[in-house]
Structure 1
Amino acid sequence: MTRLIEIVDERHRVAIAPEVGAAIARADAMTRDGPVPMLRGWHGGEPAPFAMGSNLLVPFSNRISGGGFSFEGRFHPLAPNLDGEPYPIHGDGFQAAWTVMDAGPSAATLSHDGTMGDFVYRANVRYALSDAGLQTTLDIENRGAPLPFGGGFHPWFVRSPDTRLAFRAKRVWTETEDHLPVDHVAISELPHWDFSNGALLPRGWINNAFTGWDGRARIIQPDAGISIGIEAGEGLDVAVVFSPAPDCGFFCFEPVSHGVDAHNQPGLPGLVTLATGQTLRLSMRLGWTPLER
């Protein structure tokens, strides 16, 4: 049976699954009409990582091609870590059991010692509630040789026919059939992916990294009667938007530090080289407000 720990306050009720990557299993807004989901939640069944409400991505985000990457004259191999995926994806933190370090009424801290290929690290995550929302702070300490680190957050939101997404970005990556980046295109060239004034999600497949994101986004959920705000901390200026179809019931808006396969791109865009003992901090806040009726 999957163990959950809960943190609550007057405006939120959040359940965390330590053994499933320290993921947020559920996050509800406590409205006048009762609880409504801020995230697509897990309510039982198989406790798979991507059945949760939000995953932690550490020590990198998304895919790395070519069996690994070269850094400072050495090749660092990485094997695929998910069935059906030809490339390693999203690090290994989301697949691991984390240790609960402390848990109070409205905050909890969990820790994980990870090894994936040549990545050796300790990650600590703190979930804390306040009137401003649910703050998630992820600290990644390099405990191995210097390497380029990254990461981020992978929330899963409810998708209804009326769900609208609003955020500003400068460019977007197109992708290959196996979900690697191809062209880095200005948003003005792809107006159907311009969400700057708020828009419905596309009817077709979307799985693209938007760059030059200003770190803020809003999701309007008329069916639930709430608007969900996302605010990313420093270093998270890429947003991956994923939804396979209009009737799937979910979409992902992922604040991350780097684009897909950044380890194999010139200049390692968005990645941070950590020396032994150095720490990278990433953060995200989710808040909600009621919609006027």
Structure 2
Amino acid sequence: MSDDVRLSAGTATVTIAPDDGGAIHSLTVAGTELLRQDPGTGCFVMAPWAGRLGYGKLTVGDRTYQLPIDNPPNSIHGTVRDRAWEVVSRTANEAILRCRLTAPWPFAGTVVQTFTLTESGLTLAMRITTDHDPFPAQGGWHPWFLREVAPATGPLELGFHPAWQYERGPDYLPTGRHIPPTPPPWDDCFAMPDGVRARLTWPGFLEFTITSPVTDVVVWTLPEESLSVEAQSGPPNGLNTEPRTVTPNNPLDVRVDWAWRQLTDN
């Protein structure tokens, strides 16, 4: 679309759609698309919470707020992925987008995303601020990496070594127990106390590393076409169970770095 923001550096390009939730619609390296292209895929931002919010209920102090249920029985992935974003600034390889927090989120604030592209990586940065009232917040990104790309000699491979897995109940919320990582398939959250680090490999084509200072990552392996590795600043329902409070003097900053190197000269 004409209002999309396109960044480029070396053989890498990124296309960001301000009118579609500030999402990344495309990431190409050496002319190869790495992200799924169906509506609602690509890579979207999750804020002011990431993953599932239990039964859509947010409790702050002695008050409980009800958010819309869009992934029964829970609310999922925040509110700003459904909003249009304002382009604050853009250059050839960097863009800054902003979105106000408004209803149905009960607190006034702002989310700012910064995208910085180099020849060998993309940095995603987010800041969540409040206008005045403190509130709990989380942030992260939900990419949909293609399993099969033409230059690769095989399907996408995932390598990561979490310390534990959050046991998931039938409502897809953590039960409170930490368990040894189970074999896939996964729609699960894992803890990496020293920071998230995961490696994706398209054999014979590209090695892709995801790193972040945050210590939780959701891995979703169920779609046939794609794989999601979602670094985020807290576990599902963390607004209620492990709240990180944003105040006027203490914003929430979240950063995820994607880095790649080609395995051949493709």
1:249 aligns with 2:225: yes
- Summarize the alignment of residues 1-293 of structure 1 with structure 2, pairs less than 5 Å apart: 3-30=3-30, 35-41=31-37, 48=39, 50-51=40-41, 53-80=42-69, 82=70, 85-115=72-102, 116-160=104-148, 162-182=155-175, 184-187=177-180, 190=182, 192=183, 202=184, 204=185, 206-213=186-193, 214-222=195-203, 225-232=205-212, 234=213, 236-245=214-223, 248-265=224-241, 268=242, 271-276=243-248, 278-291=250-263
Deviation at 1:25, TM superposition (A): 0.3
CA contact (8 A) 1:99 1:110 kept: yes
Question: Which TM-score applies when normalising by structure 2?
Answer: 0.88
Number of equivalences? 258
- Counterpart of 1:197 in structure 2 is none
Q: Tell me how far 1:70 sits from its aligned partner.
A: 2.1
**C-alpha separation in 1, matches of 2:93 and 2:247:** 34
SS where residue 119 of structure 1 aligns? coil
How far, CA to CA, are the matches of 1:67 and 1:288 in structure 2?
37
Shift of 1:263: 2.7
Q: 1:263 to 1:125 in 2, by over 3 A?
A: closer
Q: Give, in whole Å, the separation in 2 of the partners of 1:70 and 1:159.
A: 39
- Rate the CA distance shift 1:90–1:119 in 2: closer, same or farther, 3 A: farther
Supply the distance in 1 between the matched residues of 2:62 and 2:259 (Cα, whole angstroms).
Answer: 44
Q: What one-letter code is carried by the residue in structure 1 that aligns with 2:106?
A: D
Q: Deviations over 1:170-195 (max 9, x none)?
A: 1112323332223533336x3x2xxx
Counterpart contact for 1:125–1:136, Cα < 8 Å: yes
Q: Structure 2 vs 1, CA of residues 131 and 2 (structure 1 numbering), >3 Å: closer, same or farther?
A: closer
> How much has 1:110 moved relative to structure 2?
0.8
Q: Give distance in 2, aligned partners of 1:24 and 1:72.
A: 35
C-alpha contact (below 8 Å) 2:219/2:229 kept by paired residues: yes
Residue 171 of structure 1 contacts residue 184 of structure 1 at CA under 8 Å; is this kept in 2? no
Unaligned 5+ segments in structure 1 are: 43-47, 193-201
Q: Is the 8 A contact 1:242 1:251 kept in 2?
A: yes
Identity %: 24
CA contact (8 A) 1:106 1:128 kept: yes
How far the C-alpha of 1:14 sits from its partner, in A, is: 0.7
How far apart in 2 are the matches of 1:276 and 1:259? Answer: 24
What is aligned with 2:151?
Answer: none
**How far 1:72 moved relative to its partner?**
1.9
Describe the SS at the equivalent of 2:99.
strand
Is the 8 Å Cα contact of residues 114 and 122 (structure 1) preserved in structure 2?
Answer: yes
2:6 and 2:235 map into 1 onto residues whose CA distance is 32
TM-score when normalising by structure 1: 0.81
- How much does 1:168 deviate? 2.1
Distance 2:128 2:191 in 1: 22
Three-state SS of the structure 1 residue aligned to 2:75 is coil
Contact 2:134 2:248 in 1 (8 A): yes
Q: Is the 8 A contact 1:8 1:129 kept in 2?
A: yes
* Runs of 5+ unmatched residues, structure 2: 149-153
